[in-house]
Amino acid sequence: MEFPPVDTASEDGLLAVGGDLSPERLLLAYQNGIFPWFNDDSLILWWTPDPRMVLFPKKVKVSKSMRKVIRDGAFALTQNTCFEQVMDYCAQIERKGQEGTWITPEMKNAYMNLYKKGYAKSFEVWEDGELVGGLYGVDLGRVFCGESMFSLRPNASKFAFIKMAQELGEKGYELIDCQVHTNHLESLGAELMPRNEFVKILQGQLSTRQ
């Protein structure tokens, strides 16, 4: 069940093809800076991009407009109240430049299994009792690996990301893995880190899972 060394990945970050999405293999992947990403009609593809997009929780950027959104109190944040529903919304949301979804039924089942074992987590955003945004990912203890987020209202996913970062920072989490660069993530304070540094942080946290 071993993966090849991450430094053997291709230039675009592809490391391996095939295998399965068992909880054991998924955890091994995340603990080594690897994640699955593939279409429904392809074999499982395992990725480890270099550099890696990460956020140090205490470096999260809160714009003036988002400070107002938070202060107004229209949104409320919860954790792990409807993990499956968050995954479903993340799969259904239309994304610019992307056809279909990589959150296939096989992927959903895999992360649901991780959730049941306590290794996956969701953050939900509510407005007037309605689920309007959220995100989910894999919790390694003091490193949280974000997977996907959705928003049904303006700023809902930003609210989820910012409040998640603040809460994880208060709990002593060292890092949030954002996988690959986007301007949106950069605007929220995420930055690029060499893969070897990212993997060293992961390996240093393996024995500290809360």
Residue 100 pLDDT greater than 60, yes or no: no
pLDDT, position 99: 47
Indicate the domain borders of the chain.
Answer: 6-47, 52-205
Confidence band (pLDDT; 50, 70, 90) for 101? low
- Domain 6-47 - what CATH class? alpha beta
Distance, first Cα to last Cα, the chain: 25
Q: Under CATH, what is the fold of the domain 52-205?
A: Aminopeptidase (3.40.630)
**Residues ≥6 apart with Cβ < 8 Å to 165:** 55, 57, 60, 176, 188, 189
pLDDT, position 204: 83
Residue 210 pLDDT greater than 90, yes or no: no
List pLDDT tens digits, range 75-95. Answer: 999 999 999 999 999 999 765
pTM of the model: 0.92
Q: Do domains 6-47 and 52-205 have the same CATH topology?
A: no
Mean model confidence pLDDT for the chain:
92
Contact 23, 117 (CB under 8 A): yes
